[in-house]
């Protein structure tokens, strides 16, 4: 049986046979020796997104160490409130922090802890996922919104329906109006000024299909 270690854009943990393409954690261990979850869903404010392989390190998933988590892609991780890891994804993390500083007109690149403080306020409403109302026309690529039918990622003129195994249904991105955004506002600003998240390959196929159809 798969562990309840997959993360969706609503920051919920669930079990799935589908494989994730990225890895991460929430600052420590919150699983039991029986490899089930406790009532907690994080240990600290450091929610990070990592690569699956780094320096040939092996993991005993849900062993004595921290609670390992998996994401469909980085777009999913960002939506749930995770940021790039400064160890295994140093280049991406530095780029992310520099853009964060630019967006906030900071004098220097923010430290991980400072970003984590902001993200923790923006990603949770008590135990629930905090949602933010935004104009759909102003959302950058990589933002994820909640709509009837689940979560949809913004990709150019399309909205791609999120599923555990990849992006499925494609909808034309509507114009005008506001939507409930799952991606924290601080991350939206980083995306808006140039951060390029890692997408699941199914997103590329959906975009190719959209272009071929001339939509």
In a domain, 51, yes or no: yes
pTM, 2 dp:
0.93
Cα(74)–Cα(23) distance, integer angstroms: 9
Q: Which two tokens stand for residue 180?
A: 């409930």
Cα(83)–Cα(107) distance, integer angstroms: 21
Q: What is the pLDDT of residues 132-178, one digit of tens each?
A: 999 999 999 999 999 998 999 999 999 999 999 999 989 999 999 99
In a domain, 1, yes or no: no
For residue 89, the enclosing domain spans 6-213
Encode 34-46: b = buried (16+ Cβ within 10 Å), e = exposed.
Answer: eeeeeeeebeebb
**pLDDT-derived band at 207, boundaries 50, 70, 90:** low
Cα(79)–Cα(10) distance, integer angstroms: 7
Give the rounded percent of residues in the chain with a pLDDT score beyond 90: 88
In a domain, 22, yes or no: yes
**Taking all residues of the chain, what is their mean pLDDT, rounded to a whole number?**
93
In a domain, 68, yes or no: yes
In a domain, 101, yes or no: yes
Residue 201's SS3 state is helix
Inter-residue contact 45 to 117 (CB < 8 Å): yes
In a domain, 165, yes or no: yes
Res. 215: pLDDT tops 50: no
Give the rounded percent of residues in the chain with a pLDDT score beyond 70: 95
Q: How many domains does the chain have?
A: 1
Handedness of CA 69, 80, 48, 199 (dihedral sign): positive
């Amino acid at each position: 049986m798969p562990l309840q270690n997959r993360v969706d854009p609503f920051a919920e943990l669930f079990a799935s046979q589908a494989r994730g393409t990225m890895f991460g954690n929430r600052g420590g261990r919150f699983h039991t020796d029986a490899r089930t979850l406790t009532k907690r869903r994080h240990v600290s404010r450091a929610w990070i997104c990592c690569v699956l392989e780094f320096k040939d390190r092996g993991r005993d998933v849900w062993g004595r160490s921290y609670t390992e988590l998996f994401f469909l892609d980085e777009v999913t991780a960002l939506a749930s409130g995770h940021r790039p890891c400064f160890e295994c994804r140093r280049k991406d993390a530095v780029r992310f922090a520099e853009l964060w500083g630019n967006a906030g007109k900071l004098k220097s690149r923010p430290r991980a802890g400072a970003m984590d403080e902001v993200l923790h306020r923006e990603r949770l409403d008590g135990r629930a996922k905090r949602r933010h109302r935004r104009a759909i026309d102003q959302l950058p690529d990589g933002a994820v919104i909640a709509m009837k039918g689940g979560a949809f990622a913004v990709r150019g003129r399309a909205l791609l329906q999120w599923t555990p195994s990849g992006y499925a249904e494609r909808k034309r991105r509507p114009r005008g109006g506001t939507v409930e955004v799952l991606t924290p506002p601080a991350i939206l600003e980083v995306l808006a000024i140039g951060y390029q998240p890692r997408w699941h390959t199914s997103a590329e196929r959906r975009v190719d299909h959209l272009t071929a159809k001339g939509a």
